[in-house]
């Protein structure tokens, strides 16, 4: 007992000061890929090796439309090995409140051999597939009031029910790390609970398997309102390496409304913290392009 106390006092405080200070990420950690769109000579090699279709293209009329979907990316680094215009960074604060905010596109003029001649349109978030409608002022006002109220409620404390809808358990290992002394998620007033009836947030990992779909819906229905849903990892965001097939429905938003998407395979504890705090209204979006040619 006394030896444990002595070691604890000698070790001191190990809890990170994030988000007051930037996350301390190893330079060897795999994070978001960066594409130098201005110097990208050919999208075909990277698209050919991408196992989830995160990098894709379509050719028409001598032009090529390219897309990079961060929600599908598993950070494997195969694209960087195939194309010098791509490099893997250790950036992890990638959570977004809209799926389209994770999708980027650019257009190129093509040479006869199919390579890129020049960049026609700079990378930009892909447009939403929804048909735009004129907002109802009364509904918009009510929505703002609900959001302010939810922020007031969740900003002080949050209870999370985590559901594995069919993951490989990689995300679960990172989630467990949140409860240790290094990240200490409880310092934010955030607690994991066993019952959905006590939960404010549903944290979902994995693609939604068809065998877990009903259980996931029942868990969501058992939660009191207002409630938040966070999709974790590439599988939760888009179906990931599994996609949509006879056994899985794909991403969480195919079954439930999602408030925040946390990409990664798996997202590390910093990425998880960023997404959870973003859902609580205690962090701002950091997924902002800082260059016309680079997605950073």
User: Under a CB-based contact definition with an 8 Å cutoff, are residues 185 and 203 in contact?
Assistant: no
Residue 120 structure tokens:
């026609």
Q: What is the mean pLDDT of residues 8-19?
A: 80
Is position 293 within any domain?
A: no
Q: Domain of 256: which CATH number?
A: 3.40.50.12280
Q: What is the pLDDT of residue 288?
A: 40
Question: Is the bond preceding residue 183 a cis peptide, omega within 30 degrees?
Answer: no
Check pLDDT > 50 for residue 290. no
Q: What is the tens place of the pLDDT at every residue in 89-146?
A: 999 999 999 999 999 999 999 999 999 999 999 886 655 443 444 555 655 555 455 4
Is position 182 within any domain?
A: yes
Nearest to 237 by CA among 224, 223, 256: 256
CB-based contacts of 125: which residues, under 8 Å, 6+ apart? Answer: 100, 101, 103, 104, 105
Nearest to 258 by CA among 284, 235, 242, 241: 235
Question: Is the bond preceding residue 227 a cis peptide, omega within 30 degrees?
Answer: no
Q: How far is CA 123 from the centre of its chain?
A: 19
Range of the domain at 154: 138-280
Q: What is the pLDDT of residue 220?
A: 97
Is position 49 within any domain?
A: no
Q: What is the mean pLDDT of residues 83-93?
A: 94
Burial of 268 (0-12, 13-18, 19+ CB in 10 A): buried
**Number of structural domains, the chain?**
1
Is position 193 within any domain?
A: yes
Average pLDDT, the chain: 86
Is position 116 within any domain?
A: no
Nearest to 260 by CA among 230, 234, 283: 230
Q: Higher pLDDT residue, 138 or 174?
A: 174
Is position 191 within any domain?
A: yes
Is position 30 within any domain?
A: no
Q: What is the tens place of the pLDDT at every residue in 236-285?
A: 999 999 999 999 999 999 999 999 999 999 999 999 999 998 888 754 44
Is position 276 within any domain?
A: yes
Q: What is the tens place of the pLDDT at every residue in 188-243?
A: 889 999 999 999 999 999 999 999 999 999 999 999 988 999 999 999 999 999 99
Q: What is the tens place of the pLDDT at every residue in 23-60?
A: 888 888 899 999 999 999 999 999 999 999 999 999 99
């Amino acid at each position: 007992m006394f030896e444990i106390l002595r070691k604890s006092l000698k070790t001191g405080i190990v809890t990170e000061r994030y988000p007051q200070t930037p996350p301390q990420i190893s330079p060897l950690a795999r994070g978001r890929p960066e594409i130098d769109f201005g110097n990208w000579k050919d999208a075909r090699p990277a698209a050919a090796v991408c196992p989830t279709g995160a990098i894709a293209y379509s050719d028409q009329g001598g032009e090529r439309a390219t897309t990079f979907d961060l929600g599908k990316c598993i950070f494997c680094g195969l694209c960087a090995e195939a194309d010098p215009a791509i490099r893997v960074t250790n950036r992890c604060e990638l959570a977004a409140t809209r799926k389209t905010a994770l999708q980027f596109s650019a257009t190129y003029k093509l040479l006869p051999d199919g390579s890129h001649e020049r960049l026609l349109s700079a990378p930009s978030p892909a447009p939403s597939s929804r048909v735009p409608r004129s907002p109802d002022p009364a509904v918009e006002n009510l929505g703002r009031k609900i959001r302010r109220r939810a922020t007031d409620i969740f900003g002080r404390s949050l209870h999370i029910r985590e559901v594995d809808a069919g993951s490989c358990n990689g995300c679960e290992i990172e989630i467990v790390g949140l409860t240790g002394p290094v990240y200490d998620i409880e310092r934010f007033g955030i607690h994991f609970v066993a019952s959905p009836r006590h939960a404010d947030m549903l944290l979902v990992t994995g693609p939604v398997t068809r065998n877990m779909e009903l259980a996931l819906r029942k868990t969501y229905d058992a939660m009191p309102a207002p409630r938040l849903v966070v999709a974790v990892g590439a599988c939760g965001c888009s179906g990931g390496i599994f996609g949509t097939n006879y056994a899985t429905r794909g991403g969480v938003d195919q079954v439930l409304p999602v408030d925040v998407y946390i990409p990664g395979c798996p997202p590390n504890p910093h990425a998880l913290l960023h997404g959870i705090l973003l859902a609580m209204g205690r962090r701002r979006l950091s997924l902002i392009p800082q260059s016309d040619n680079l997605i950073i």
